[in-house]
Amino acid sequence: MQSKLCHRRTAFARTICAVATILIGAVATSVAASTAGAIVVAQADEPTGQGTLNTIDTKARKLNITHGPIAALNWPGMTMNFGVAPGIDLGSLKPGSKISFTLNRGVDGVYVIDAIRTDE
């Protein structure tokens, strides 16, 4: 839970993250419930990238993408492969498309695409 909140970029969000970490660990249920609302909001602020979809491996569920810088992760632009979360339909994607995507960090620490859309 708190890792998503910690992905937020602003100093304010990082402060909230630190406070939430303390509260979730130590304080009563009523306080934890109030911090839960902030965490739900933070999910809309996952790391986001934009780029060009180069290739689609439907079987392995991997996309090769040339993406621009991803500021939230301090990543420069690069060409790389991404895994895709279960439930994302790859059938409507086409090589060469301009795309936007969001990333979610799995339990193994590797970022996978958990949302993707084609840009006009």
DSSP 61-111: TEEEEEE--BGGGTBPPEEEEEEE-TT---TT--TT-EEEEEEEE-TTS-E
Amino acid identity for residue 113 in this structure: I
> Contact with Cu ion (CB under 5 A): which of 60, 71, 80, 110?
80
Distance of CA 87 to the CA centre of its chain: 15
CB-nearer residue toward Cu ion: 20 or 56: 56
CB-nearer residue toward Cu ion: 27 or 80: 80
CB-nearer residue toward Cu ion: 78 or 110: 78
Task: State the nearest-atom distance from the C-beta of 110 to Cu ion, in Å.
Answer: 12
Judged by CB under 5 A, how many residues of this single chain contact Cu ion? Answer: 2
Task: State the nearest-atom distance from the C-beta of 47 to Cu ion, in Å.
Answer: 11
Q: What phi and psi values does residue 78 have, to the nearest 5 degrees?
A: -170, 170
- CA 75 – CA 72 distance, rounded (Å): 8
Task: State the nearest-atom distance from the C-beta of 48 to Cu ion, in Å.
Answer: 13
Q: Which of residues 19-78 bind Cu ion (CB under 5 A)?
A: 78
Query: What does the block give as tokens for 18?
Result: 């630190």
CB-nearer residue toward Cu ion: 60 or 80: 80
Q: Point out which residues bind Cu ion (CB under 5 A).
A: 78, 80
